[in-house]
C-alpha cells in the first residue's frame, strides 16, 4: 500500500497545472474621443513603439525605490501592444472627414517612447505617455515637421486598473494635442513652410 500511495502521488504531480488567469484590458469605448477633420491629406498614420514597449505587458515603474527598473503587472495584460491600441484610437479621431482611405498625402509617424504607470510614492501613481510626431512628405518621406508630446494623468487607484484608466485618458488628451498641432501647422501657411503644409501634402 505505501508503494501504491507513492505512485499515485507521483502521477498527480505530473498532471498539467491550471494556467494562471489574468485580466485583459483595452481603452474601452472611445465615445469621448475628439472627432475632428484634419486640414490636409494624411495618407497613412502609424504608431511605432520603442523596443521596450513592443509587448502587451502593462508596465509600471517605482521611481521612489527603483527608478531604473521597468516592471509589469503579472495578472493584467493589454489586449494588444499599446502602440497598436493607440494607433486605432488616433485613426478614429482623425477620420471624421474621411469617407475612404486616402490614396495620396503626407505620412504621420508617432514614435512611442513611454507608456507606463509611474509610482512617485507608495500608493500614488500616474499614467505617462511620451511620444514624438513626425510629418513626412509624400513619396520622398522628407521631414516636414516634428513635435514631442508628454501627457500625464493621475491614476485613481494604485493598481493596474488605475493605470489603465489614466493611460486611456492620456491617449485621448494626446489625440487632442496632436490635432491642435496639425491645425497649427496648416495655419502657419507658406510664410514658414515652402508652399504650406496643405500644398506639400497634396491638398
Per-residue pLDDT at 6 exceeds 90: no
Q: What angle do CA 51, 147, 90 make, to 5 degrees?
A: 70
pLDDT at 193: 52
Among 17-31, 95-109, 143-157, 168-182, name the one with the lowest average pLDDT: 95-109
pLDDT at 12: 42
pLDDT at 103: 64
- Give the number of C-alpha atoms closer than 13 A to the C-alpha of residue 166, restricted to the C-beta side: 27
Per-residue pLDDT at 8 exceeds 90: no
Top pLDDT among 187 and 127 is at: 127
pLDDT in tens, 77-116: 999 999 999 999 998 888 744 544 456 789 999 999 999 9
Mean pLDDT of the chain: 85
CA dist., res. 81 & res. 92, Å (int): 17
CA dist., res. 22 & res. 42, Å (int): 38
Of residues 42, 69, 41, 75, the one with CA closest to residue 57: 75
SS3 breakdown of the chain: % helix, strand, coil, rounded to 5? 30, 35, 35
CB 129 within 8 A of CB 155: no
Amino acid at each position: 500500500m505505501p508503494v501504491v500511495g507513492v505512485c499515485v502521488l507521483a502521477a498527480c504531480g505530473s498532471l498539467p497545472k491550471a494556467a494562471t488567469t489574468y485580466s485583459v484590458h483595452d481603452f474601452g469605448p472611445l465615445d469621448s474621443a475628439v472627432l475632428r477633420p484634419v486640414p490636409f491629406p494624411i495618407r497613412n498614420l502609424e504608431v511605432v513603439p520603442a523596443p521596450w514597449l513592443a509587448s502587451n505587458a502593462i508596465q509600471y515603474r517605482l521611481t521612489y525605490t527603483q527608478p531604473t527598473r521597468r516592471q509589469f503587472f503579472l495578472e493584467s495584460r493589454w489586449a494588444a501592444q499599446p502602440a497598436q491600441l493607440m494607433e486605432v484610437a488616433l485613426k478614429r479621431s482623425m477620420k471624421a472627414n474621411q469617407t475612404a482611405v486616402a490614396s495620396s498625402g503626407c505620412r504621420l509617424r508617432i514614435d512611442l517612447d513611454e507608456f507606463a504607470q509611474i509610482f512617485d510614492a507608495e500608493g500614488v501613481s500616474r499614467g505617462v505617455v511620451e511620444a514624438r510626431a513626425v510629418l513626412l512628405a509624400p513619396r520622398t518621406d522628407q521631414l516636414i515637421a516634428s513635435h514631442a508630446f508628454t501627457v500625464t494623468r493621475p491614476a485613481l487607484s494604485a493598481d493596474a486598473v488605475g493605470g489603465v484608466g489614466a493611460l486611456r485618458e492620456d491617449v485621448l488628451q494626446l489625440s487632442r494635442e496632436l490635432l491642435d498641432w496639425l491645425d497649427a501647422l496648416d495655419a502657419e501657411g507658406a510664410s514658414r513652410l515652402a508652399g504650406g503644409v496643405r500644398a506639400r501634402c497634396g491638398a
